[in-house]
Chain A
Amino acid sequence: MGNKAEINPEKELNTEKELITGLGTTSGNMKKTEALLKVEDLSLSFTQYESGLRQTELKVISNLSIQAYKGEILAIVGSSGSGKSLLAHSILGILPSNAKLDGRIEYNGAELTQERKEEMRGKEIALIPQAITYLDPLMKISNQVIGCVEKKNEGLMKKLQREIFQRYTLKPEVERMFPHELSGGMTRRVLVSTAVISSSKLIIADEPTPGLDEKTLNETLSYFKDMADKGCAVILITHDIEAALKISHKIAVFYAGTVLEVANVEDFKNNGENLRHPYTRALWNALPQNKFQAIKGHQPMQDEVIDGCIFYERCSRKKALCAQGLPQLKQVNGGMVRCNNAS
């Protein structure tokens, strides 16, 4: 059957070697020129029926553009309900049937159509889900990590899985456990293993850190760093800006379904003076070790129609121009920003 992961044994062995020898080393020899994943002007809306047969379109992502490079970690930071997870689902092509996707997604230089998504997922593009509920409650862990493979590759995959488990200090008995028997930290490592075993080039981690203690958090983050060091492009979706800052190269700030700023991690130094968008600065100031100040108001709801800048209501530096049309995403100082004030 064509839908099972096809594995080239030789390639697999190479990857294995690479995984073992390459722990936290190579990062210098990566080409950073061409983006592995390019999302351009992506919009996502859902068709809904509201009071009887009236159809409405609920826009959850609008005019979103991001790029992910090999060897780099791009963090997508935003509060809940900003459409972060849906972005991941759009890239993987696992949206529900009432979703309407516009814009262009490119992977490795070619457009990522739904057919290509279906072909790529699990092989080239891997998702690390956010919670234990993404594992089949009645299937043993090792079967889930290995996934659906052809019979002849089972032995090889089993070996690979054992090595990965050893690397992530998962005891051999974890293989035979059911998801509900795992602890929080173990769950993280198992979920990460599912991506590592696929030897994907693009890893999308959806909220991988909530509710973890400091040690487990750092450990989990280090796994992503390893992946990037080995040449993967990692997209880290999170609401934890602190955790994102620890390992990411770039940070995209998500707000109400679009990106307001793509900042380099260096921009957050010096009290965030180099940050381009007022919302990013507000996020930074809200951290306990900084000013611990939250800004007033809330993110606009998905069904609200906004003519101007989506941050207009809460912005401290708004001008008349801001109420007219969504500002364009422009290149400023080595990053991207969607603000009329930035220059």
Chain B
Amino acid sequence: MSNNEKIAGFVGKKALRLTSLLIVVCFASFMLIQCSPIDPVRAYIGEMPVTAEHKAKLEAYWGVNTPPQDKFLNWAGDILKGDFGTSLIFRIPVIDVIKERFTASLVLMGVSWLFSGILGFVLGIIAGAKQGTWVDKAIKTYCYALAAAPTFWLALVLLMVFSVYLGWFPIGLSVPIGVTADDVTFFDWFKRLILPALTLSLLDIAKITMFTREKLIEVLSSDYVLFAKARGEKGLDLVLRHGIRNVALPAITLQFLGFSELFGGTVLVEQVFSYPGIGQAAVAAGLRSDVPLLLGIVIFSALFVFFGNLIADIIYEFVDPRIKQQEASV
């Protein structure tokens, strides 16, 4: 099988999977909302006093009484045309809300993803190489403690310690209040990013550290490391030469597969830190019955997780030389 054919097959398979995923996600989330007590008309009216007559007019205008299947087809048709509707709480097109909020969240997630990946990998390598020593035990204890701590609780603790008691960081938001967008400095923005990014990455660190540690211990007890020792390699050189090489790929793959947890964590962290990201928008949309926005976010978060998995698959299929060979010999 030539390489081009393989790539074509891979792309085809993934495209099919993406399409079917989106169809299922759209249908399922639409139906869930249909069955939920969320009432967009109520949300639109808000606290305004309205008469029953007026309300009936609004309902007719919004098409509340159209059959669910027609509603779905109308909505899905618009989505296909790229029209996600208008957000009820922000009063601007859903797509614009998502663009703005997702960018903010991507920065937050990206920073914490990189941070947790690098730190977790390094800690895992140290723990694995020093297996059984107090360093290893300390790192392991730290990981277990972190893995057992809920995100929102950790976020609150950090906020209390660093923002309230120590006053090192602002309490929340991504930019200072009362300053025009043009006057916001990079430092202002960065200072507000640190705590949420830290919270988000702390939890991921535990996972990647434990994985790297296990994997390194496995590599260090392999035949090829034994042979390397028999040839006079030892200590740090041995770990760097054989350990990192064999652990890096699975660890990076795992880190990409963690996109879903990253997104889940963002929702909680943004809520605690009032960080104006997609997670906070999702919570607001849910609580305030903003159906178009909620559905839009669902679709985009599904895409986000899908691409994380896709990258992991690409690494697995195209970067690891062993997989290449196996495919070729089939």
Task: Report whether A136 and B231 are in contact in the complex, using a CB–CB cutoff of 8 Å.
Answer: no
For residues 272 through 326 of chain B, which have their beta carbon under 8 Å from a beta carbon of chain A?
320-322, 325
Tell me if B82 counts as interface (CB < 8 A to partner A): no
Q: Which residue of B lies closest to A194 (CB)?
A: B231
Q: Is A49 an interface residue (CB 8 A)?
A: no
Residues of A within 8 A of B320 (CB): 138
Say whether B224 contacts A148, CB under 8 Å.
no
A1-13 vs B, CB cutoff 8 Å, 1 = contact: the mask equals 1011100000000
Interface pair A138/B321, CB less than 8 Å apart: yes
In the bound assembly, the distance between CA atoms of A148 and B224 in angstroms comes to 14
Contact between chains at A147 and B230 (CB < 8 Å): no
B245 close to chain A: CB less than 8 A = yes
Known contacts: A148-B241, A178-B321, A181-B325. The answer to whether A134 contacts B224 by CB under 8 A is: yes
A138–B245 CB distance below 8 A: yes
- Nearest-Cβ distance from residue A296 to partner chain B, whole angstroms: 34
In Å, the complex CA distance between A5 and B230 comes to 12
Question: Contacts of B37 on A, CB cut-off 8 Å?
Answer: none
Q: Which of B208-255 contact A (CB under 8 A)?
A: 222-224, 226-235, 237-238, 241-242, 245-246, 249
Which B residue's beta carbon lies closest to that of A96?
B221
Kindly report which residue of chain A lies nearest to residue B320, judged by CB atoms: A138
Q: In whole angstroms, how far apart are the Cα atoms of A31 and B224 in the complex? A: 35
Asked whether, in the complex, the Cβ of A3 is within 8 Å of the Cβ of B237, the reply is: yes
User: Complex formed: what's the CA distance from A136 to B248 in Å?
Assistant: 14
Chain A facing B: main interface SS: loop
Contact A180 B325 (CB under 8 A): yes
A139 to B224, CA, bound (A): 11
CB within 8 A of B233: which of A3, A126, A137?
A: A3
Whether A133 and B233, one on each chain, are in contact in the complex, defined by CB atoms closer than 8 angstroms, is no
Q: Are B325 and A136 in contact (CB under 8 A)?
A: no
Chain B residues near A89 (CB, 8 Å)? 226
Whether B235 lies near A147 (C-beta < 8 A) is no
**Chain B hits for A136, CB < 8 A:** 224, 228, 241-242, 245-246
The residue that A148 contacts in the complex, of B222, B230, B233, with Cβ under 8 A, is: B233
> Contact at B223–A138, with CB atoms within 8 Å?
no
Give bound CA distance, A11 to B123, whole Å: 42
- Asked whether A4 lies within 8 Å of B237 as measured between CB atoms, the reply is yes
**B230 and A122 form a contact (CB under 8 A):** yes
CB of B175, distance to nearest CB on chain A (Å)? 45
Q: Which residues of chain A from 118 to 165 have a CB within 8 Å of any chain B CB?
A: 118, 121-123, 126-127, 129, 131, 133-139, 147-148
Give Cα A139–Cα B231 distance, bound, in whole angstroms: 16
With A4-B237, A180-B325 as contacts: A127 and B245 at CB distance below 8 Å: no
State A188–B227 Cα separation when bound (angstroms). 15
Q: Is the CB of A180 within 8 A of B322?
A: yes
Interface membership of chain A positions 312-342, coded 1 if the CB is closer than 8 angstroms to chain B and 0 otherwise? 0000000000000000000000000000000
Chain B residues lying within 8 Å of A248, measured Cβ to Cβ, are none
Complex Cα gap A147–B232 (Å):
9
Is residue A92 contacting chain B, with contact meaning CB distance below 8 A?
yes
Q: Is the CB of A126 within 8 A of B325?
A: no
Contact A121 B232 (CB under 8 A): yes
B325 touches A127 (CB 8 A): no
Q: Point out the residue from B231, B241, B322 that lies within 8 Å of A137, measured CB to CB.
A: B322
Q: Is the CB of A3 within 8 A of B232?
A: yes
Instruction: For the complex, give the distance between the alpha carbons of A3 and B235 in Å.
Output: 8
Contact B232 A122 (CB under 8 A): yes
A118 to B230 CA separation, bound complex (whole angstroms): 8
Task: Give the contacts of A227-278 with B (CB-CB under 8 A).
Answer: none
Q: Are B245 and A94 in contact (CB under 8 A)?
A: no
Nearest A residue (CB) for B227: A134
Chain A residues with Cβ below 8 Å from B234 are 3, 118
**Which chain B residues border A92 with CB–CB below 8 Å?**
229-230
Whether the Cβ atoms of A147 and B322 lie closer than 8 Å is no
In angstroms, Cα B231 to Cα A92, docked, is 9
One digit per residue, 1 when the CB lies within 8 angstroms of any chain A CB and 0 when it does not, for chain B 154-167 equals 00000000000000
Shortest CB-to-CB span from B330 to chain A, Å, is: 14
A148–B241 Cα gap in the complex (Å)?
8
* Among candidates B226, B233, B249, B325, residue contacting A147 with C-beta atoms closer than 8 Å: B233
Interchain nearest-CB distance for B252 vs A (Å): 13
CA distance A123 to B233 in the complex (A): 11
A:172-213 near B, CB below 8 Å: 178, 180-181, 194, 198
Given A121-B231, A148-B232, A133 and B245 contact (CB-CB distance below 8 Å): no
Min CB gap A64→B, angstroms: 20
Q: In the assembled complex, which residues on chain A have CB atoms less than 8 Å from the CB atom of B226? A: 89, 94, 134
A5 to B237, CA, bound (A): 12
Q: Are A94 and B229 in contact (CB under 8 A)?
A: yes
How many Å from the CB of A157 to the closest CB on chain B?
A: 13
**Complex Cα distance A122/B226, Å?**
12
Contact B246 A127 (CB under 8 A): no
Give chain B nearest CB distance to A7 CB in angstroms.
12
Given A1-B237, A127-B231, output 18 extra A-B contacts at Cβ < 8 Å.
A92-B230, A121-B232, A122-B233, A126-B231, A129-B223, A136-B245, A137-B246, A138-B320, A138-B321, A139-B241, A139-B245, A147-B228, A148-B228, A148-B231, A148-B237, A148-B241, A194-B231, A198-B231
25 residue pairs from A and B, CB less than 8 Å apart: A5-B231, A89-B226, A94-B229, A121-B229, A121-B230, A122-B231, A122-B233, A126-B231, A127-B230, A127-B231, A129-B230, A131-B223, A133-B222, A133-B223, A134-B224, A134-B227, A135-B224, A137-B224, A138-B249, A139-B245, A148-B233, A178-B321, A178-B325, A180-B321, A180-B322
**Closest CB pairs A-B (n = 7):** A122-B232, A122-B231, A134-B227, A133-B223, A127-B230, A134-B223, A136-B224
